[in-house]
Amino acid sequence: MKGTGLANEYDALVSIIENARESRVPISFEKHIKEGDFDKHFRIEVTPIVSNNNYIGTIILFKDITENIRHIETIEEKHAIMMEQERPASLGQLIGGIAHNLNTPIMSIAGAVEGLRDLVDEYEESIGDDSVTDDDHHEIASEMRVWLEKIKPHCSYMSDIINAVKGQARHFNQSVELSFTVDELLKRIELLMKYELIRYNCTLKTFINVDRNTELYGDINSLVQIFDNIIINAIQAYEGKNGIIELSVKSSDSSILFAVRDYAKGIPKNIKDKLLKEMVTTKGKDGTGLGLFMSYSTIRGRFNGKMWFESEEGKGTTFFIQLPNDKLNKIHA
Ligand X SMILES: Nc1ncnc2c1ncn2[C@@H]1O[C@H](COP(=O)(O)OP(=O)(O)OP(=O)(O)O)[C@@H](O)[C@H]1O
**Position among 94, 197, 216, 267 found at the interface with ligand X (CB under 6 A):** 267
- In the list Mg ion, ligand X, none, the entry touching 234 (Cβ below 5 to 8 angstroms by class) is ligand X
**Nearest distance in Å: CB 321, ligand X:** 13
Using CB positions, name the residue nearest to Mg ion: 291
**Nearest distance in Å: CB 208, Mg ion:** 25
Q: Which residues pair with 232 in a beta bridge?
A: none
Distance of CA 244 to the CA centre of its chain: 22
- In the list ligand X, Mg ion, none, the entry touching 302 (Cβ below 5 to 8 angstroms by class) is none
Cβ-proximal residues to 235 (8 Å cutoff; 6+ apart), any chain: 196, 197, 200, 202, 243, 245
Instruction: Answer yes or no: are the C-beta atoms of 262 and 243 closer than 8 Å.
Output: yes
Strands (DSSP E) contained in 76-222 are 179-181, 202-209, 215-217
**Position among 199, 282, 308, 315 found at the interface with ligand X (CB under 6 A):** 282
Instruction: Answer yes or no: are the C-beta atoms of 101 and 79 closer than 8 Å.
Output: no
Q: How many positions of this chain bind ligand X (CB under 6 A)?
A: 22
Nearer to Mg ion, 249 or 267 (CB): 267
**Nearest distance in Å: CB 274, ligand X:** 9
Q: How many positions of this chain bind Mg ion (CB under 5 A)?
A: 3
Nearer to ligand X, 90 or 325 (CB): 90
Instruction: For 178, list phi and psi in degrees, rounded to 5.
Output: -135, 160
Instruction: Answer yes or no: are the C-beta atoms of 233 and 261 closer than 8 Å.
Output: no
Distance of CA 251 to the CA centre of its chain: 20
State which H helix or E strand residue 94 sits in. helix 66-126
**Position among 101, 168, 222, 233 found at the interface with Mg ion (CB under 5 A):** 233
Nearer to ligand X, 48 or 316 (CB): 316
Binding flags for ligand X, 299-318, as an x/- string (CB under 6 A): ------------------x-
Nearer to ligand X, 293 or 303 (CB): 293
Nearer to Mg ion, 292 or 333 (CB): 292
Instruction: Answer yes or no: are the C-beta atoms of 292 and 276 closer than 8 Å.
Output: yes
156-215 residues in contact with ligand X (CB under 6 A) are none
The number of beta carbons lying within 10 Å of the beta carbon of residue 186 is: 19
Cα dihedral angle (212, 234, 99, 227), rounded to 10 degrees?
30
**Nearest distance in Å: CB 149, Mg ion:** 37
- In the list ligand X, Mg ion, none, the entry touching 63 (Cβ below 5 to 8 angstroms by class) is none
Nearer to ligand X, 94 or 234 (CB): 234
Strands (DSSP E) contained in the chain are 27-35, 38-51, 54-64, 179-181, 202-209, 215-217, 243-252, 255-262, 306-312, 316-324
**Position among 58, 126, 248, 288 found at the interface with ligand X (CB under 6 A):** 288
Instruction: Answer yes or no: are the C-beta atoms of 27 and 12 closer than 8 Å.
Output: no
**Position among 287, 300, 306, 331 found at the interface with ligand X (CB under 6 A):** 287
**Position among 283, 315, 327, 332 found at the interface with ligand X (CB under 6 A):** 283
**Position among 48, 243, 291, 324 found at the interface with Mg ion (CB under 5 A):** 291
Binding flags for ligand X, 213-252, as an x/- string (CB under 6 A): ----------------x---xx--x---------------
Instruction: Answer yes or no: are the C-beta atoms of 224 and 188 closer than 8 Å.
Output: yes
Contact set with ligand X (CB under 6 A): 229, 233-234, 237, 262, 264-267, 275, 280-283, 287-293, 317
